[in-house]
Amino acid sequence: MPKPLLAEFIARAGAEDEVAPLILDQAEEVRAEEGDLVHEVYRDEDAFQVHLKGPYGGPFDTVFAPLIKEDASVLTFLVPVG
């Protein structure tokens, strides 16, 4: 079953110009993952776990965390209706 994910955050005031290119770079990395059907929709739980262990996640989080208000992105897993 596909695993759609919504990741949300609020950029700190003045950090918007730093956050935008980080998100674009991260999107390119995620889209290249074998288990990513479209950006942040994973084939299944196993594909999502591979994403979490990707080599770019840790360095991204280290740079990204001080630029947002939350401790980390707020993750919401979406459930198909119907």
pTM for this predicted structure: 0.74
For the cut 90, the answer to whether the pLDDT of residue 17 exceeds it is: yes
For the cut 80, the answer to whether the pLDDT of residue 14 exceeds it is: yes
Mean pLDDT of 57-74: 90
Half-sphere exposure of 69 (CA within 13 A, CB side): 8
Other beta carbons within 10 angstroms of residue 20's beta carbon come to 11
